[in-house]
Chains A and B, each alone.
Chain A
Amino acid sequence: MKFLVCISNVPDTTTKIAFTPDNKEFNKAGVQFVINPWDEYALTRAIELKEAAGSGTVTVLNVGEADTEPNIRKALAIGADDAIRVNAAPKDAFFVAQQIAAIAKEGAYDVILMGKESIDYNGFQVHGMVGELLGIPTVAPAMKLDLSGNTATLEREIEGGKEVIRVNTPFVASCQQPMCEPRIPNMRGIMTARTKPLKVVPATTDTPRTQVAEYALPPKKQGVKLIPAESAGDLIKLLRNEAKVI
């Protein structure tokens, strides 16, 4: 089995979000970037499935500029075999999907795993686009993934429940908990990651379909109105008469 795991490079979950003065770009100054948390499920599950089969390869793929390499190396340290970076600023989801689809086709990958969504742009769309570009099924978001020969059994979360889906390779799945316990790099992994192959390839030239015109922060809250615990019931009256939400 050839696994392709797509990882996105995102601001750490504790980041206070700020923008450049013209509000046109995310302000990266002082921000720590991490592997998108959902993508860690994809990566760990791919490694687990490869280990269980006793054969196969796990390739990580990122569409990004050189500053994403520390996190690509981290994915190699966690246990991926090799990596590809498509050298381009990820202009929009469709652009990213086109790059991933091109790599997936060229490398004839059997299982293409992603995260449920990026925690920065919250698109929930690259996986569907890649599936459609390749003409193969996408299962999003998957909570469980097992492989038996060329057949995968997945559990997909839907609002209010889950579906069990069987698909044959090749397919795309986007992963979320409780699929596995994401692994963290160990010392040996960090050492071997340094020498694992990381190939940098140019982007295919394609025009994005969306463009961010401006960012904005949510309006500030007015401040909390405290109700003494002794008269907790008053809160309910405020929710009905003042906030009008019950």
Chain B
Amino acid sequence: MTDTAAAPAQVPLVDYLVLGDHPHLVAHQCTSCGARFFDRRNACAGCFGTEFEPADIATEGVVKAFTIVTFAAPGVPVPFVAAIVDCDGTSVRGNIINTEPDPEHVKLGMKVRLATFSLGADDQGTEAIGFGFEPA
């Protein structure tokens, strides 16, 4: 069981989510053209460059597309709001959380900010942390 003296270990839902005091997303940025990718690339899809550097993604953005999913694959809890958020010029995929999943509460152009949530602890007491975007 968890040692109460030490903070429980945490693991991000995906490797491009950086936890800590200021949770944020990080991308692989092409050093020649600036294109950003959340998974690894052999070469840049835009300019074929092979050099990448880590780039922090803005934690605030604007909803540029969303859908409210009410019918999904088995095991996927519904309803949820899937969205594309424009984070200062970088498109990010994530759910809109901490608000009602209906068109009265979720709007195109809405300002949102990154927020994290717990997916629970595994058998070793490690807590998985996911992210979404909440109204700002």
A and B part of one assembly: no
Q: Which residues on A are within 8 Å of B, measured CB to CB?
A: none
Q: Which residues on B are within 8 Å of A, measured CB to CB?
A: none
